[in-house]
Structure 1
Amino acid sequence: MNASDRTPADLLRSALAADPARPLVTYYDDATGERVELSVATFSNWVAKTANLLQDGLSAEPGERVALLLPAHWQTAVWLVACSSVGVVADVGGDPAAADHVVAGPDRLDEGLACRGERLALSLAPLGRRFPTPPAGYDDYAVEVPTQGDVFAAYAPVDPDAPALSVGGTELTGAELADRARADARRLDLASGARLLSALPYDTWEGLSAGLYAPLAAGASVVLCRNLDQLSPEDLQKRVESERVTSTLV
């Protein structure tokens, strides 16, 4: 952990400098059988491309709000850090009518149409596949993001004391978020190299912290599980063993 890191983007830069090859997010969807593992380097590349899409494609500016209508998913984790990189507020489950932009999953597309700004749709299909046809009123993230640059540079410095995240009625600055992530890492006893399995949804701070921020702050990694209730206890134990999980939150 680096005590000087004051935003999620800072935490990711420190993780990249420390060990780019280590796993950061391992994602399972037990409704589809999907498994995706992203190293720190691969995750950082997705963040850079997504931040460039935010800044250049959506013309998002620091202080604007992006409603993230997305479940616990590896691409949601990417969006959370990309928002921090640009300086926009990641409004998790936020009101799209009050947001400057919206990013919606396939089951919340109708809701997201209330946003009058730019709209991006994520299929959340295995391998990050695009929609067969872009949903009406949306651009397809999987079509737009591959052409973005692999290196991101913000046009304006990100203020660590500006709002960075809104979830469940709680709004945090980048600095508050980083401090909470480090505190949670200590509370969860996450040391460097630890593997935390989390099946908590991303609609609370606890879920976001366990599913991304605390492992990122600790130099640990997360095994992020969606639809874990479809897994038998025996298969869950096999996963814990095969993924070298050191602690679980389900």
Structure 2
Amino acid sequence: MSQVPAATRALRVLRFLATQADPVPLERIMQACELPRSTAYHLVNAMIAEGFVVHLADERRYGLGIAAFEVGTGYTRQGPLQRIARRPLAQLVDRTGHSAHLAVLHGRDVLYVVEERAPGRPPLVTDVGVRLPAHLTASGRAILAHLSSSQVRALYPDRTVFVDRTGVGPQSPTALRAVLAETRQRGHAREAGEVTAGLSSVAAPVLDHNDHPVAGIAITYPAGEADVGRLADAVAATAALLGRRLGGR
């Protein structure tokens, strides 16, 4: 049990509001955060005074305030995920002899934020700042496989949103669902020649304290040159380490 219950409740309210698409009535906050009405009322008013919550009086709803936005942008400026990931990725490269990278989901793309190259290995397109279609990459599939079906459906509503690079890979929502189901069953994600002909990748998701996939870690190697099971175990161990450092289980 927390020794600072008021702080715990305030953080619970912030986390709940951050997951909502629109501002919500006080009753929703009460139910989601298991707060009595008087406690919820006084708590959100204190958070309004500090700028973390805004009250839309005409709508009788509450949403995130500017201070919450400042906290989020502060996180982005400090880049803690990149700082936490760099050394474990370098160790992963040393252990496996193959290049490794960390990517985050950005719409229907993955954005590469950390890249560790293995000496003497083939050049890759996955440099820092590069975006690639998430449904074709192992890191993207590792992330997508841990999203809800409704989130995946919102990202990939029909065939028109699918692109390809080498002529292979899922080109419909049905095909993507099959790939993600296989990924979940296998316990890690794979792609073979779908980003770059002749190269394959294996990946695992980095899960936070809510089991939400905040990133994907992948190793890329020449097709047929590696023990995929061994690489998958190494990637999963590194992803689990990062997840624990982010407060995950």
TM-score by length of 1: 0.28
Greater RCO (Cα-Cα under 8 Å, separation 6 or more): 1
Bigger proportion of residues as helix: 2
TM-score (normalizing by structure 2): 0.28
